[in-house]
Each structure stands twice: as C-alpha cells, then as structure tokens.
Amino acid sequence: MRDDGQAAALLRWYDRHHRVMPWRVAPADRAAGVVPDPYRVWLSEVMLQQTTVAAVRDYFRRFTDRWPTVTDLAAAEDAAVMGEWAGLGYYARARNLLKCARAVVAEHGGRFPTTREGLLSLPGIGPYTAAAVAAIAYDEPATVVDGNVERVMARYFAVDTPMPTAKPELVALAERLTPRQRPGDYAQAVMDLGATICTPRNPACGICPWMAGCAARERGVAADLPRKLAKATKPDRRGTLWLARVGDAFVLERRPDKGLLGGMLGFPGDGWDGAGGTEPIAAGWRELGEVRHVFTHFNLYLRVMTADLPEGTLPDRGELVPRSAFRPGDLPTVMRKAWDLASSAFPPR
C-alpha cells in the first residue's frame, strides 16, 4: 500500500530545498520540460558509489568536459579513463564504466535502455544503479535505495533489525512510499533528506518534512537508528614499494586488470596484495619511510624504497616512463602517498 501523502510532502520540501549538483536537473527546470541526460545520471551514480558528493563534483566535471557523451567515453583509451579516475578508489568501477559505455554504443546505438530491466542487462550496472537511472532519467517508478534512503526508512518506520540484515526489509518499506508521480524527483528527494536532515548523527528532526509520521522520532530513538552489527577489526598488511628513477624516467608498471588497483599504473611492489614480486631493478636501495593507507577490508603499511640510477639501466619488471609523461595525479591514492614521501629524493637533473 502506497502512502502518497508522505511522498507529496517530501516533494514540496524538495522543490524548495533540493541540493544543486552538476549532474542534476532542478525540479523547476524539469517541470518546464528539461529532460535529464541518462549518461550524466549514470556517470554520477557510478562515481557516487562508496564516495561523497563533495569528492565527486570535480571528477564529474572533468569527465564530462573531456568525454561529454557516452559515445565519447566509449572511444576513450583505457589508460586515460583510469588516469582521470585516480583518487576515487574502487577502480573496478572505472573498468566497468568503460565496458558499459562500449556496450551502450555497440549494442544500443549510443542510447541507454529506458527501463530498469533494460539497464540491468548492461555490464557493471546493478539493481541500485539501474533503479536510479530508470527513475531519475526516465521517471520510471523504480525504488531507489542507497545508504541515505536506508537510514531514512529505518527511522521513519523504527526498524530495529541491524544492518545489513535489515536491507531487504528497508527496500520493501521504501517501495511503499515510492510514488507514481515524479518518481525521479522523489528518489533524489529522499537521498537529499538523508544527506541534509536525517543525517547519521544529530538528525534535525524539528525541520524534517516527515517528522509527523516518523516512528523513531515519536519513540525518541532516531539518533540510535539504523542499528548496525559490530564490525570486525580490520587486519593489517605490510609490503614494499620501489620507486626508481633511471636517467630522467621512472620505473612504473600497470597492475593486472583484476584485483586491487586493477588496471592502474603504479610503482612496483611486493607482499601486500598476494601477487608477490621482487625489486624491479638492481640498485642500492634507500629506505625513506612508510606510508599507510586504509582499504575497505584491511589497513596497509608500505615501506618506500628509492634508487636514482644512470641512463641506460634496464628494469627487470615494469617500464620506463619519461618524466615528461609521468603524471603523479594519475596514480591511485596509495601510490601518490608514496610519491609525496619520495619525490624529494629525485631533484631535477
């Protein structure tokens, strides 16, 4: 059973208080006939997975400036896309981004499917992204549930079941509130509500458009929900990175497509990802210190070793990349941390 009254109240709030984002069509513009670009909706949703809006804005602008259409992105070189993605993390998303763009061009003439089911047929698009694109770009009444929406539903219906066990229940409850009218604006409204009012800590219940019907507010437990199962302690991993300059070039290697930092360019390493490896070039290595990086499932500590070698020395692994072609900003974050620590060891020649 749908509750259209609550949806209408939220949409009135959204019309006045929606967040302005470079990929979003404002409700007034949408009412005037401006149609969201499914490419921009899809790109933003992929970027926003496991990442904040603040972190994504500049990446989104750079991507759409460089590749303004899905056809442009499909024709891009893999290395260029991976370089622009560097720093966003979860690099499998960038590989899937290219696979999806190329499938849209090759199999659908450069047009995204217009339904949730059609979108699910594309590589790299799961239930959440399919629902988000279908609702926001095509106004299909698909139920869109991200972390913000889960939190809103857990509080509105006072769901005590801890996360992630509660996910199916929260999706079903969100479906009850999803309206047939303006489902795209509604999907964004619930996410905005969770991001700006129904926040993880100190929710602003007094100005919430849903405060009258919120069961958690009535019981005084809004700040305690959603409940979460205790997290296991992250294990530590340790390893080594070797940063070598040969003449005016650096020794870099591209990681395998699958696995941690898949497809990304970085410094040769050993011991932290299960891949093994030896030092890339015979040298008198100097240890500069250690960098720390937090991955989803473990903490990583890497010794940083450097060597400065004369022109003509050939590496046993990796490739020589001239300094003029080496862009530290294209490296994944953990590699940039190592570069920041070691760059002073390589003064200009």
In the chain, helix, strand, coil percent, each to 5?
A: 45, 15, 40
Beta-sheet pairing, 249-254 with 236-246: antiparallel
The token pair at 344 is: 């002073």
Look at residues 41, 18, 38 and name the one whose alpha carbon lies nearest to residue 29.
Answer: 18
The one-letter amino acid at 235: P
Beta-sheet pairing, 286-294 with 299-309: antiparallel
Look at residues 173, 70, 65, 79 and name the one whose alpha carbon lies nearest to residue 122.
Answer: 70
Catalytically annotated residue among 45, 140, 150, 279: 45
CB 13 within 8 Å of CB 113: no
The one-letter amino acid at 129: T
d(CA 75, CA 100): 12
d(CA 52, CA 303): 30
* Three-state secondary-structure class, residue 216: helix
The token pair at 173 is: 């409850």
For tokens 């940063």, the residue is 243
DSSP count for the chain of H helices, then E strands: 14, 7
Residue 77 among the catalytic residues: no
49 Cβ contact partners less than 8 Å away, ≥ 6 residues apart: 90, 93, 129
Look at residues 285, 262, 284, 288 and name the one whose alpha carbon lies nearest to residue 275.
Answer: 262
Active site residues: 45
